[in-house]
Chain A
Amino acid sequence: MSVTPPFDEMHNADGSIRDPYLILDEWLKEQPPQALSLMRSDAESLFRRLGITFAVYGSNEGTEKLIPFDIIPRIISAKEWRRLSKGIEQRVRALNAFLHDIYHRQEILKAGRVPERLILNNSAFCPEMMGLDPARGVYSHIIGVDIVRVGPDDFYVLEDNLRTPSGVSYMLENREAMLQLAPELFQRLKVAPVETYPETLRRTMESVAPANAPGSPNLVVLTPGIHNSAYFEHSFLADQMGAELCEGQDLFVENGKVYMRTTTGPERVDVIYRRIDDDFLDPLTFRPDSMLGVPGLFDAYRAGNVTLVNAPGTGIADDKAVYTYVPQIIEFYLGEKALLKNVPTYNCTNDEERAYVLEHLEELVVKEVHGSGGYGMLVGPASTRQMREEFRKKILARPDNYIVQPTLALSTCPTFVDRGIAPRHVDLRPYVLVGDDVRITPGGLTRVALKKGSLVVNSSQGGGTKDTWVLED
């Protein structure tokens, strides 16, 4: 455990309340003893009735759980947010420019700023995307950047999530729940709205419709189906945007164009927000055994008759090994210094760094390069000797399969737990939309590790969520 206590977003070191939390603090003090428990059970039955659940990987099929929702909002000041969003915008612009470059002339590889092998030999690189010109040059339209905070002005980007970031429905439903549970708080604080997200998503998708689409393009959300862990989110977004929610079987390709099967026959589809992974998107081009995809979809995309949101092959830019080069990527395309910091990352293929890593496993975090959701991960300070031994062997066997980072002292926020209000570690995933402009929804999904001292915020590992309030000036 770190010696200095982690940064708490509500309290200064001397116990006084930080500015953004003053009104919340007052409000909390006004609440009668049972009020918070009541609010929590109200919130739970609200979420359960609405069917906001997620499926846990590896558990019985059909098992649905609620992600615990913490009723104490996390608050970010307008000034803090401006700073953050500038940094995020810079990052997503640079990463989209990077994607365009590596799928065209590959200048950054020629210039030697990013090792050629790291990109071209990477399984996340999609050669089928070479030379394709997506509408407005945008590859990743929908992004969720994972950010952690370690001090008042100290933010780190953990992951860029340029493929299919999930969780935005929780951001929206958490706000809905807070509006129902504590309307009086919204009267006292000016909280920036997040409810505009579905409309902004719609605008973003419309702005990247193919050139030959009609004035009002037809948008759909493509889901793997009701057994997908994020199905709730897919249907929620489709509903909120007023777009049709389609499965692969609802779409087909004819004469180079994509159609959906309606009660009155085929209807042309122009922009697809697909929540199916690249590999399963089109059995004609990618995995031939995919039952989820639409045969011919990728070719229709290449022929310019439909837009895929996000584009296939964006995974190369959020590959954990490529992540370490993001500061160089920003400099290369924008000529600016990165505004948000990367977490320093040790490269295990380097003998010296590996030696350091193996000696300091109990202080470090080890992640699988292609892992996600907190699986295949070692959190040093919380690990047992046996776990460390296991990872030592894994790293030695496949040093290129792991990245290692120091354990960050994630900031804490007041959280309502069994024994009352206590600090718990949090991270933040703001949602970014890129089309005719870059738009960042003020707020995002705050994930909170509900176990005391835990740094793992993933819902699959016992994490919960909070509503995130960005204050307006």
Chain B
Amino acid sequence: MIEFTNVSKVYENGTKALSNLSLSVDKGEFVFVVGPSGAGKSTFIKLLLREETPTKGIVKVNGYNLNKIKKRQIPQFRRSLGVVFQDFRLIPQMTVYDNVAFALRVTNVASRSIRQRVPYVLGLVGLAAKARNYPDQLSGGEQQRVALARALVNNPPLLIADEPTGNIDPELSLEIVELLNEINKCGTTVVMVTHEHELVARFGHRVISIDHGSLVSDADEWGSFYEG
């Protein structure tokens, strides 16, 4: 599903973000990516989304070779991903419903399937009752669930979460990760970047740790990471 082969990224200003990173994530996995700030996590995400291209090495995601993908194929590729961010990135002028429907409207989905699909995912994240609310009327946890609904609405095989709990109270953070866990159980591959070790320890998934742009460890569980 995701394959990084000897990937290095040096930005134009000379910052070395990743050096010789190799890793792979299989279909159906739930993977935490951890590391201190400046470790290269954001660059990792940007490479996954094809917002950046690697300076060296090969990035393959969802069967697309992102080194060779043509510009006009990028939209198609991105439709095979769901992404949530720390800052939710909801549109404040739109209701919850419209925020979720937006992802479908702008990708040429017929109105009929939008009307079916949006209430379904809102139900999935437990926000069916708040469909008519605006983002600023919701708590941080609820806003993130809206973002999650938007990420899931076109049923992507891969979900990428970039510090999804960064702006949320600890109790609600747990809810979000539990939700991601449920989504993963339904077959969606989940990659979650975080630096909240407690959460990572609690869920017992594979943990990829990067620092200074390189792979520090790749363990089946947080515990074995400590022991190893």
Asked if chains A and B come from one complex, the reply is no
A residues with a Cβ closer than 8 A to B are: none
B residues with a Cβ closer than 8 A to A are: none
